[in-house]
Amino acid sequence: MENEDILKKIPKEGFIKLGRSGRKELDSAQRSALIRKGNALFNSGDIETAQRIFLTTGYSDGLERVGDHFKERGDIFQALRMYWIAPAPGKKEKLIEQCAAVIQHWVNEEG
């Protein structure tokens, strides 16, 4: 991936911290119903709404799948955000290593 391509993929709004804190507590029945709805939306292609549901419920598997979706489409920054929140340490570390390699390449080009 060329440097310019990567720079174009940085979100316009920058990197907004997303976290697990501040979530409203859901009882198990509400959480289960939302996760089922999120899975159905994800499977039908409504990734954005599914992502919001998975963030609300803290559903790690769903967040990881959303991260996989973004990675497959070349949006490594969004993928990294989802892997970070999920948490999906193996996938997160792999993307961080790839980003570090790109930065190292940039540094070597300048030198």
CATH of the domain at 63: 1.25.40.470
pLDDT in tens, 7-51: 566 665 555 555 555 556 788 999 999 999 999 999 999 999 999
Number of domains in the chain: 1
Segment among 22-26, 64-68, 98-102 with least mean pLDDT: 22-26
Mean pLDDT estimate for the chain: 83
45 in a structural domain: yes
Question: What's the pLDDT score for residue 1?
Answer: 47
Q: How far apart are CA 36 and CA 97, in angstroms?
A: 33
Mark residue 15 as left, alpha or beta (left: phi above 0; alpha: psi -120 to 50; beta: remaining).
beta
- Owning domain of residue 69: 3-10+25-110
15 in a structural domain: no
Average pLDDT rounded to a whole number, residues 80-97: 91
Amino acid at 51: Q
20 in a structural domain: no
